[in-house]
């Protein structure tokens, strides 16, 4: 063993001398080859500690060439999966990460190293450490990284934040991804780089396609919005997944998603966006192909978080009451509070509370005369309607003024005639 170690040290020393000569001479190809030979030599000898030491040593040598450091890091990354144990693997990743820190020309390699280290930490059950590691890297600033790889990295950051229940940071990270990027045509975006531009590297083979990333993104956002029970946003996320071509082509995939869209639309509070989505869903021809599920409320086990649960049951009851109040407002301009409570099958206090909540949320325009116990409904007017009503009122007022002036003038003339006579 001592002989092998001596031979290895001698071989490394010889290659270091060669590397120094090439580096001082400015020979990029020669320096790169010498650096790679040192890394390969340490790997073949199984000297992992020596490999880490040599990587640090080579990166700190005076006037070291960028191309040589890039080649060394890329070559050493090939040996990560070939390490004998987990501790050696983690040590090698940390060494390469520290070497590439702060160097723009190996920023992509460092991001990939951090991602691998975070995956190892996650497998060990250290979710917090994995999330903190991933948040150190701001891939959105990397000009030479492929778009799909950037999105995949940010989605991994979001997923880890959701796993650690850090919903605020998950929302901040998710906003780094514009949803318009999923609708872009990848074939039209490949342009020839201009002089001075960064050359965008191809994404690794394991990175999903843009449409697959779109599905992952909206599934993560469903997890986020489920935390706040934001049914309308959950519905919009499912609608985006439903519009993916690969989903629409397979009935086994789109039927459960369309069912979820319907359920969350029903659970969402009434507003213009909900009405628009409701009308768009009703016009969907695929809706007629879904089996009857009106009596399957308790059997909806595939929704996020299992069954709909007690909270959703209360929300569904609330939505039914709101719908009934809206229907009453269409047919009545004035109604007693007692009659309204009878129609809603509620007590007077409950009916008044729900009506007040809808007025406060601007879902409805109404006034309650509590001493008389009468509710007055009014239809909402847009700006044009308000201006037209004002114009009509002014026209009537001017007609009255004109008639009054005419009557006054007439009386004056009659009075003057009488005096002359």
Residue at token pair 């629409």: 248
Cβ–Cβ under 8 Å, residues 96 and 70 = no
The whole-number pLDDT of residue 54 equals 87
Let me know if residue 223 belongs to a domain: no
The whole-number pLDDT of residue 196 equals 47
- A 10 A CB-CB count for 43 gives 18
The whole-number pLDDT of residue 380 equals 63
Let me know if residue 235 belongs to a domain: no
Residue 366, H or E segment: strand 365-369
Let me know if residue 124 belongs to a domain: no
The whole-number pLDDT of residue 139 equals 86
The whole-number pLDDT of residue 394 equals 87
Residue 229 vs residue 3, higher pLDDT: 229
Let me know if residue 320 belongs to a domain: yes
Residue burial 132-156, b: 16+ Cβ < 10 Å; e: rest: ebbbebebeebeebbebbbbbbbbb
How confident is the prediction for the chain on average, in pLDDT?
83
Cα–Cα separations (whole angstroms), residue 373 to 268, 369, 396: 30, 6, 33
Residue at token pair 């959701």: 162
The whole-number pLDDT of residue 297 equals 46
The whole-number pLDDT of residue 192 equals 55
- CATH number of the domain that 357 lies in? 1.10.10.10
Which strands sit side by side in the sheet containing 374-378, from one edge to the other?
Answer: 334-336, 374-378, 365-369
Mean pLDDT of all residues in 20-47: 87
Long-range contacts of 192-199 (CB under 8 A, 24+ apart): 197/143, 198/143, 198/144, 199/144
- Tokens standing for residue 289: 């192909």
The whole-number pLDDT of residue 191 equals 54
Domain span at 57: 1-103
Nearest alpha carbon to residue 263 among 318, 303, 229: 303
Let me know if residue 332 belongs to a domain: yes
- Tokens standing for residue 348: 């007077």
Let me know if residue 10 belongs to a domain: yes
Mean pLDDT of all residues in 104-122: 89
Mean pLDDT of all residues in 339-366: 85
| Rounded Cα distance, 335 and 190, in Å | 65
Cα–Cα separations (whole angstroms), residue 158 to 151, 164, 274, 401: 10, 10, 27, 69
- Tokens standing for residue 230: 């934001």
Percent of the chain with pLDDT over 70: 89
The whole-number pLDDT of residue 219 equals 92
Q: Is the pLDDT of residue 305 over 50?
A: no
- Convert the pLDDT of each residue in 68-78 to its tens digit: 888 898 888 88
Burial class (CB in 10 A: 0-12, 13-18, 19+), 114: buried
- Convert the pLDDT of each residue in 132-160 to its tens digit: 888 888 888 887 888 888 899 999 999 99
The whole-number pLDDT of residue 315 equals 82
The whole-number pLDDT of residue 306 equals 45
| Rounded Cα distance, 397 and 403, in Å | 10
Mean pLDDT of all residues in 398-420: 89
| Rounded Cα distance, 145 and 143, in Å | 6
Q: Whole-prediction pTM value?
A: 0.77
Residue 316, H or E segment: helix 309-331
| Rounded Cα distance, 390 and 292, in Å | 50
Q: Is the pLDDT of residue 404 over 90?
A: yes
Let me know if residue 224 belongs to a domain: no
Domain total in the chain: 2
The whole-number pLDDT of residue 309 equals 59
Domain stop point among 87, 103, 119: 103
The whole-number pLDDT of residue 189 equals 54
Domain stop point among 103, 132, 166: 103
Mean pLDDT of all residues in 180-193: 65
Let me know if residue 34 belongs to a domain: yes
- pLDDT band, very low/low/confident/very high, at 186 (cuts 50, 70, 90): low
Cβ–Cβ under 8 Å, residues 17 and 59 = no
Q: Is the pLDDT of residue 405 over 90?
A: yes
Domain stop point among 45, 79, 103: 103
């Amino acid at each position: 063993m001592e002989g092998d170690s001596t031979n290895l040290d001698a071989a490394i020393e010889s290659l270091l001398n060669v590397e120094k000569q090439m580096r001082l001479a400015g020979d990029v190809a020669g320096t790169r080859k010498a650096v790679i030979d040192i890394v390969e030599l340490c790997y073949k000898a199984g000297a992992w500690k020596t490999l880490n030491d040599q990587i640090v040593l080579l990166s700190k040598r005076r006037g070291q060439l960028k191309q040589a450091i890039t080649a060394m890091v890329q070559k050493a990354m090939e040996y990560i999966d070939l390490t004998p144990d987990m501790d050696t693997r983690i040590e090698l990743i940390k060494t390469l990460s520290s070497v590439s820190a702060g160097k723009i020309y190996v920023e992509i390699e460092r991001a990939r190293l951090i991602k691998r280290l975070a995956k190892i930490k996650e497998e060990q059950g250290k979710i917090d450490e994995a999330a903190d590691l991933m948040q150190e890297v701001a891939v959105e600033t990397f000009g030479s990284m492929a778009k799909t790889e950037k999105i995949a990295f940010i989605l991994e950051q979001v997923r880890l934040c959701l796993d650690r229940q850090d919903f605020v940071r998950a929302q901040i990270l998710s906003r780094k991804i514009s949803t318009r990027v999923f609708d872009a045509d990848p074939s039209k975006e490949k342009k020839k780089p201009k002089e001075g531009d960064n050359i965008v590297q191809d994404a690794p083979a394991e990175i999903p396609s843009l449409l697959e990333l779109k599905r992952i993104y909206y599934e993560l956002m469903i997890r986020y919005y489920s935390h706040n029970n934001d049914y309308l946003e959950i519905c919009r996320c499912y609608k985006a997944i439903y519009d993916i071509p690969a989903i629409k082509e397979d009935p086994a995939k789109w039927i459960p998603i369309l069912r979820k869209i319907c359920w969350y639309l029903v659970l969402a509070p009434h507003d213009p966006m909900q009405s628009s989505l409701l009308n768009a869903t009703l016009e969907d021809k695929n809706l007629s192909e879904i089996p009857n599920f009106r009596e399957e409320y308790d059997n909806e086990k595939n929704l996020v978080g299992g069954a709909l649960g007690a909270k959703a049951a209360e929300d569904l009851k609330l939505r039914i009451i709101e719908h009934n109040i809206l229907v009453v407002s269409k047919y009545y301009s004035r109604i007693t509070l007692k009659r309204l409570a009878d129609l809603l099958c509620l007590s007077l206090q409950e009916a008044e509370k729900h009506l007040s909540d809808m007025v406060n949320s601007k879902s409805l325009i109404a006034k309650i005369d509590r001493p008389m116990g009468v509710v007055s409904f009014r239809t909402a007017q847009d700006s044009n309607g308000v201006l037209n009503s004002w114009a009509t009122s002014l026209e009537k007022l001017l007609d009255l003024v004109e008639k009054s002036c005419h009557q006054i003038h007439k009386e004056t003339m009659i009075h003057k005639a009488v005096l002359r006579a």
